[in-house]
Structure 1
Amino acid sequence: MISHLGILFMRAIAPLPLPWLRALGYVLGLVLYALVWSRRKVVDVNLRLCFPHWSDAQRRKVARDTFVHVAQSFVDRAWLWHADPEVVRRRVVLTGAVRELAGNDATIVFAPHFVGLDAGVTGLTQQLPRRFIGIYTRQSNPVVDAWVLKGRHRFGINPRPMSRNEGVREIISALRDGDIMYLLPDMNFGPEESIFVPFYGVPAATVPSLSRFARLGRAKVVPVITRMRRGGYEVRVHEAWAGFPSGDAEADTALMNRRLQDYIDEMPSQYYWVHKRFKTRPPGEPTVY
């Protein structure tokens, strides 16, 4: 019942002016920052590990801004998934090397977990005439799961979501058929199939899926970084990485993390620091959370 009411609320607020929705997200973010101390601790640990040179005041500010941006991006799902398509097109702007996503080349979009990731996939699928595939994790609540799936695949040509339980063969076949894969491999998915590579100098369990899929699918890798702005979102398409994959999955995955650090440094408070990125530790290393 609560899930249904929440979705109805999101539909109801979708037509509101964007400044009103961002103000709602701002207040919600501050409330969550004040009340959800366990997740605030996660953000603080992440920032201390990744930015040990920052002052306590700087970490607190970025932590608070992170909660605000996460909340604002959640509220933005109202208009991303329910507003008039022209409103979405006007607020989500594609920039950069968009030509990299033209044609039929096997392509993997490297889309790290910035708060604008939902806006990124919405903008790409709405404005580019290619089919996108993606791997998703099911939500525990079936009502919410159906809402998220429908929202993220609102636009596009015969969108093809794939769960993490599906085989690699189907994904590689889709890549070789000319589909674009939207991949978010920068989270801690546990020790299975992960390798430890540095992330801001800290060993981080990281799945080498970007290198693996690029090699098997003979695909180029195009980073797409979505930035939240006052008027909506900028979805910036970067040049394809030269020489990637290299044939060395560990070296490729370490390179992925180094380049991700460069993107984060441009807007640290828009990265998804609420995730326990260092939950899985190398053998013998103590927990950090």
Structure 2
Amino acid sequence: MNDGALRPARIDPGNPSFDEALADARALVDAELRRALAGEAGPIAQAMLYACKGGKGLRGFLVLEGARLHGLTKVQAAPVVAAIEALHAYSLIHDDLPCMDDDDLRRGRPTVHRAWDEATAVLAGDALQSLAFELVCRATIPAEARVMLALTLAQASGVAGMVGGQALDIAAETAPEPLGLDEVTRLQARKTGALITWAAAAGARMAGADPAPLIRYGDALGLAFQIADDILDIEGDAAEVGKATGKDAGAGKATFVGLLGLEAAKARARSLVEDACAALDPYGKAADTLREAARFVTSRRK
């Protein structure tokens, strides 16, 4: 692949609003996935596109905004933006299956195994995972950057990351003793946080820059995101959240709210948002949209 073949106008160096950047990321994901699946009209492709619709698009936004910070084009960023959303959608399809969390509702619509069947859901998830790595490898960035993105995405999504965290979560349901705060923090850093951190650092890695500040940002953001999810499970309205609420408490899962209490959990989330914003100091005002995203995490209603 010619890494310099596509050099259109660079991403606007001015700071977009968070809402604008989030909508831009969602549009890029939709266009990129439809392009990748053009000609595939069967139920698997339909289920793949269905699973990627209706989400917040936060992970794709993080990739896009990190790319903007480092002077990359939307054309360069688009495959990687779509890749993380495809991989995230795969994880949700499998997480919703009867053998996992057994959910009927996701993003306000029937889960994939309810809209189709379990076999289609498994295969659509498998295909989205494969597509994520295909998209990373298609990005018009230097080969070394593509290799690093693929390697780190495999680490963040595999047994040392998201999948490992999910396994710990399942095991905790039948453990003789409930998990403590440190154990839940480590679990969620893998299950939820690993992909958020990868998305946050992707722009720096694409540009061959030091990803450390954005890794710190992503680590804090990912934990704040999970605490906010735990709060929504208690306080959220299922119609607004788009999925069942109260399930964690009903299943006896160890959560940040259960371990800290509601108000202390909210205070911990706010503190993590401050940590995330502080990690962006090296970027100055150019990172204000990422700061806005961190504040959104603790104020969202779905």
Q: Whose RCO is larger (CA < 8 A, sep 6+)?
A: 1
Greater share of residues in helix: 2
TM bucket, shorter chain? 0.3 to 0.5
Greater share of residues in strand: 1
TM-score normalised by L of structure 1: 0.32
